[in-house]
Amino acid sequence: MNCKICNLKTKNIFTAKILNKYHVKYYYCNHCGFLQTEEPYWIEESYEESINISDTGIMQRNIHLSKISCLLIYFLFDKSKKFVDFAGGYGIFTRLMRDMGFDFYWQDKFSVNSVARGFEYDQDNTKDAVELLTSFETFEHFDQPIAEIENMLKISRNILFSTNLLPDDLPQPDDWWYYGLEHGQHISFYSKTTLKYIAKKYNLNLYTNNFSLHLLTDKKINRLYFKLILISNWFGLSYLIEKTLNSRTVDDMTQFKNNES
């Protein structure tokens, strides 16, 4: 089986039991450090619900990522521009970012927009440039990661995303929760080497916390500065920044009420 990132030959390194019934082979690429499952024939069953039942951290994760995104946008990007949350699920993150004051829009081909209705991103009919695209806890779900990344790059050359990096010592199936064997939705796993390969392929710069949060961008950023921005979240700096922004919560409500009248 060829690697879905660099297209070189992979090696079957182990088999794991997915959804408590399917014995699935995993293939590792020694060239770019990418790990993938065999072709995911079980995937439709995994997505009977777009958000799996074991994802109890969905709210806490969205709140946490909204604080970090607020900091990165405020210090590194033009906060007055348009932003898109790619594969945004129920719209929780989009709504949180609009509540802070950022002009965020939702995009997802496979989920219902329950929380950020009215702010769907229409790529074909949008002329405004998108300053930054966010995509959290999505990369591990991609069956065709290169195609998905290229779709993102058509929207913006700045991509902030999260996915847990493979540990240096590749864990066995029962030793790493992020394989997600109980739900079967995680089928692509990236190492830092993988992300460096992707950045080089598209002539982008990579900045990462070396664990779960990553930025691909045209911008050249001082790596210490990037690290300090992330650290500042521990001290609640995002709360102070929010005080300087104009929340869109009431304005959004007023807009919809006026449209109905």
**Which residues, in sequence order, are CB contacts of 114 under 8 Å at separation 6+?**
90, 91
Residue 175 lies in a domain: yes
Give the pTM: 0.95
Residue 169 lies in a domain: yes
Confidence check: pLDDT of 110 > 80 = yes
Per-residue confidence (pLDDT) for residue 186, from 0 to 100: 98
The mean pLDDT value for 145-152 works out to 98
Q: How confident is residue 106, by pLDDT bands cut at 50, 70 and 90?
A: very high
Residue 10 lies in a domain: no
Domain tally for the chain? Answer: 1
Residue 49 lies in a domain: no
Per-residue confidence (pLDDT) for residue 71, from 0 to 100: 98
Domain enclosing residue 83, as ranges:
58-260
The mean pLDDT value for 237-245 works out to 96
Cα–Cα distance between 186 and 179 in angstroms, integer?
Answer: 6
Residue ranges of the alpha helices (H) in 33-138? 43-46, 58-76, 92-100
Cα–Cα distance between 201 and 24 in angstroms, integer?
Answer: 29
Percent of the chain residues past pLDDT 70, beyond the cut = 98
Q: How confident is residue 200, by pLDDT bands cut at 50, 70 and 90?
A: very high
Burial of 99 (0-12, 13-18, 19+ CB in 10 A): middle
User: Across all residues in the chain, what is the average pLDDT?
Assistant: 96
Residue 174 lies in a domain: yes
Residue 29 lies in a domain: no
The mean pLDDT value for 145-149 works out to 99
Per-residue confidence (pLDDT) for residue 261, from 0 to 100: 66
The mean pLDDT value for 127-154 works out to 97
Q: Kindly report the CATH number assigned to the domain that includes residue 213.
A: 3.40.50.150
